[in-house]
Structure formats: C-alpha cells, structure tokens
C-alpha cells in the first residue's frame, strides 16, 4: 500500500471523489479510531477530570439525567467528532465506489454495531475486477443445498451456536446478540444465495435471510432455549437488521472472507460487552388514578391490599408475571412489604413511611418476570434475569372535592440492549401492572 504524502493525504481524507482499496480503508479507519479515542480521553480526563470515556460507547444514562457538567463534556466531545464523521463518510463513499456498491449504503456508518460489521465487509470485500469470471461461477457448489429452505437451514446452523453462546455461556443480551447476529445471519444468507447462482437478485437474498431468521427463532423455541414471548419481542428488532444484512450481502462483490470477518467481529464484540458489562440506565414508569375516597382510606389499601380478581388482561395470560396481593410485616420505617406476584414475591423494605401521603420502598428480592412459553415444560432454562426492579413509590394527593389522586412509580433497569428499544416493552408491561393494582385499590377504597 502506497502512503500518500502532503496534498495526497488531504485528498484521501477530505476529497469525496476517487476510490480506495480495502487495505487503505482499514488502515485509515483504525487510525481515525485511535486518534478519536485518545482525543476523547484527553478531553474527558485531562480537561474535565472525568473517567476514561467508555460511557459514550455504552451510555448508562439518558440525556435528561445528565448534569450540566456532563452535558458540557458531551457537547465538546460531539463537536470534536464532526471532522471524524466527515472523514469517515468520505472514506466509506470512496470504498463503496471502488466496490461498485450503492453510495446510499454510507448511511450504515451511523447505525450502532452494524457500522462496525459493515466496516469489516468493506475491508475484506474484493474489487470486482479482481474476480475471475468463468462459466462455472454460476454453478451451485456441491456442498450447497439446492433448495432455498436448505440454504436457510445451513445459515441457521452456522449462527445458532454463537446465539446460544451469547445467551447461556456469556449471559449477554446486548448489541452483539440483537444486532450483530441478525446482520451477520442476513449477510451470510445473501452470500450463499449468490453462490447458488442468484447473483443479481436482492429479493432472493432477503427471502433466504428471512427464512433463516424464522428457522433460528423456531429452533430456539422448539429446543426450549427461549420462550415464545421473548421471541415475539425480539422479532421486530432482529428481522429488519437481518434484512439489512441481506441487502448489503446481495450488493457486495463476492465476499466469502467478509462472512468470516463478520462472524469473528460479532464474537469479539460480544466478548467485549461481557467483559466490560456496562451498568444499564435506570428508567421510571409513572401511572396515576383518581379515587373517590379520602387519602386515609386509600392509604390502608396501598400498604396492603387484598386478593386481586382473576386476570382478564390478555397480556398477563401470556406468562408475564402479574400482582396477586400485598402483605406487610410491621409498620413504619423498617417494615417489610411483600407484593405477591404470579411467579413469586417481591420483598420490599420500606424506606419512606409518611402516612397518608407517601410510601416508598426498595426491592431486596424479586421473582422471575415471566413464565416462558416453551415447547417442553420439563426442560429448565439457565438464562439470567435481565429485568430488575429497583424502587417503588406511592404518592397520595388530596383533591379539593375530598378524593385522592394516587400515583404509582416504579424505577427499574434492564440488562438488554439497545436500551431504548426494550424500554418500550418494559414501560408498556409495567404500566399495565400499575393499572391492575391502582384499579383494585380504587375499587376497594370506594367500596369501604
């Protein structure tokens, strides 16, 4: 690789025209990452006295929870990133042009995790002119199944072990599992489809990738490695990423080496997530209801409530844990509340007892958040619990008419990434749990 000097370096990094080789792209990419990483370290540690900037790769708090000092640090780090973003776009566009791939794929530069795998694809993919065409190029290799379902099964077999390792050996449910594996699976499916002779069909690669994803989910369910509800929640995020991987694989030049690079890259990323184990962000869910009873009456039901009626909500009939009743040992600070769920008991030591205005409690023990629907009930699963309730609170506000506005809050964290996606599911479920409890308290308070 010839290293340009002077004006050549400026053209390489800032002039959008031209083409570059995979080796040049790799060297430039790692160089820019090294420079940006250390620039962030200098800004964070030497200027603002903060720690090594792991947090911008794995954020543990939302923007609304950041202090003014942290927001200032984030602003300067973002400002310093602009030249690197421009350079990354320029280099990626040049590499795409060299591979005769659509320039629109430069948008993948901004997709977390996928951008790292895409970087590996561009590094290892070969230029079209280096591929020797021959009449046998479109002949399906002997080892490749003739049917689409057969090729899909082959892709599933290749990626199922890595999925199982992430879930059970590493106990990691992060970016690598939910973005890296689907992208790699889709990319591999498209490459195998092209090897079968469908070189020009993006639709064919996408279809094979979709079948592979269906087979992967089916095997996870049939082998009792994952429950039906978890699969249903994973499907909306995994499937589009899988299709994206298939599109990239269909548009790439012959990329057998890239498949191996993606597999290794996903494995290393999972290992990095497992070793670093970033602290997940804490979220809160707030629900409220108005009750035609004074706070003193409502307080009695808040502290301990009787058996709730059988569930009618379809959500709780899918195996998700739901509240049954609440009991308490003692009174005031030091008391321990037990909120009994369908899967076990939450042990909640009281931290604030302000009758009849506020009841706040921690969570020292919690049951499983759901009973997974698996094909074989007798096969135990060994996955760790990824949902953790941290605190709970009831606030009672006296209304002018003599009634009460009761507000319930739950603070929790999920060891699932991307956090923003799984927050949608968690907030929805927790709110439905709140509503079940609040409506029961309302009915009992107004009846008494």
Is residue 90 domain-shared with residue 221, that is, in the same domain? yes
Q: Is pLDDT of 2 > 60?
A: no
The mean predicted confidence, pLDDT, of the chain is: 84
d(CA 152, CA 211): 6
Structural domains of the chain, count: 2
Percent of residues, the chain, with pLDDT higher than 90: 38
Q: Which of 259, 276, 293 is the last residue of a domain?
A: 276
Is residue 219 domain-shared with residue 81, that is, in the same domain? yes
pLDDT of 36 = 85
Looking at the domain assignment, is residue 305 inside a domain?
yes
Q: Which of 223, 256, 276 is the last residue of a domain?
A: 276
Is residue 88 domain-shared with residue 186, that is, in the same domain? yes
Q: For residue 323, report the phi and psi dihedrals to the nearest 5 degrees.
A: -70, 145
Looking at the domain assignment, is residue 423 inside a domain?
yes
Is residue 289 domain-shared with residue 178, that is, in the same domain? no
Note down the domain range covering 67: 8-127+140-276
Q: Is pLDDT of 138 > 50?
A: no
Is residue 146 domain-shared with residue 191, that is, in the same domain? yes
pLDDT of 269 = 85
Q: For residue 388, report the phi and psi dihedrals to the nearest 5 degrees.
A: -135, 120
Q: Is pLDDT of 97 > 60?
A: yes
Looking at the domain assignment, is residue 133 inside a domain?
no
On whether the CB atoms of residues 245 and 185 are closer than 8 A, the answer is: yes
pLDDT of 222 = 83
- pLDDT tens-place string over residues 156-186: 999 999 998 888 888 888 888 999 999 999 9
- Angle of helix 256-276 versus helix 148-164 axis, rounded to 10: 30
Is residue 291 domain-shared with residue 256, that is, in the same domain? no
Is residue 154 domain-shared with residue 69, that is, in the same domain? yes
Q: Is pLDDT of 424 > 70?
A: yes
pLDDT of 46 = 54
- pLDDT tens-place string over residues 358-391: 999 999 999 888 877 766 654 444 556 788 999 9
CATH of the domain at 320: 3.30.530.20
Element (H, E) at 149: helix 148-164
- pLDDT tens-place string over residues 234-275: 999 999 999 999 999 888 876 778 888 899 889 888 888 877
Is residue 263 domain-shared with residue 319, that is, in the same domain? no
- pLDDT tens-place string over residues 267-297: 888 888 877 766 788 899 999 999 999 999 9
Torsion, Cα of 188, 234, 59, 37 (10° steps) = 0
């Amino acid at each position: 690789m010839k290293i340009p000097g002077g004006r050549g370096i400026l053209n390489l990094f800032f002039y959008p025209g031209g083409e570059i080789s995979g080796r040049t792209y790799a060297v430039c990419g790692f160089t820019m990452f090294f420079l940006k990483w250390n620039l962030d370290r200098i800004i964070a540690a030497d200027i603002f006295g903060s720690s090594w900037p792991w947090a911008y790769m794995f954020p543990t708090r939302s923007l609304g929870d950041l202090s003014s000092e942290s927001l200032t640090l984030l602003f300067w780090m973002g400002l310093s990133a602009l030249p690197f973003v421009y350079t990354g776009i320029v280099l990626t566009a040049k590499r795409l042009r060299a591979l005769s791939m659509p320039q629109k794929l430069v948008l993948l530069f901004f997709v977390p995790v996928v951008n790292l795998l895409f970087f590996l694809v561009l590094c290892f993919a070969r230029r079209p002119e280096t591929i020797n065409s021959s009449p046998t190029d479109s002949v399906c290799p002997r080892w490749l199944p003739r049917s689409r379902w057969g090729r899909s099964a082959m892709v599933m077999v290749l990626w199922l072990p890595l999925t199982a390792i992430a879930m059970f050996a590493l106990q990691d449910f992060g970016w690598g599992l939910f973005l890296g594996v689907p992208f790699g699976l889709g990319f591999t499916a498209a490459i195998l489809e092209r090897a079968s002779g469908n070189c020009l069909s993006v639709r064919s690669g996408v279809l094979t990738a979709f079948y592979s994803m269906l087979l992967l989910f089916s095997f996870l369910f049939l082998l009792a490695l994952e429950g039906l509800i978890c699969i249903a929640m994973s499907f909306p995020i995994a499937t589009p990423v899988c299709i994206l991987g298939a599109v990239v694989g269909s548009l790439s030049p012959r990329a057998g080496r890239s498949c191996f690079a993606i597999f290794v890259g996903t494995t290393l990323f999972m290992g990095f997530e497992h070793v670093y184990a970033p602290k997940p962000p804490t979220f809160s869910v707030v629900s409220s209801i108005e009750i035609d009873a004074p706070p003193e009456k409502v307080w009695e039901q808040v502290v301990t409530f009787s058996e709730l009626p059988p569930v009618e909500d379809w959500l709780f009939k899918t195996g998700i844990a739901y509240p049954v009743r609440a009991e308490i040992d003692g009174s005031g600070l030091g008391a321990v509340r037990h909120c009994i769920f369908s899967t076990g008991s939450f042990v909640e030591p009281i931290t604030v007892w302000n009758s009849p205005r506020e009841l706040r409690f921690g969570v020292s023990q919690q049951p499983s958040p759901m009973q997974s629907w698996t094909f074989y009930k007798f096969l135990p699963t060994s996955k760790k619990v990824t949902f953790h309730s941290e605190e709970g609170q009831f606030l009672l506000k006296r209304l002018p008419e003599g009634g009460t506005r009761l507000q319930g809050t739950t603070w929790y964290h999920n060891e699932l990434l991307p956090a923003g996606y799984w927050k949608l599911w968690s907030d929805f479920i927790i709110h439905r749990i709140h509503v079940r409890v609040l409506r029961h308290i309302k009915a009992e308070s107004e009846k008494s």
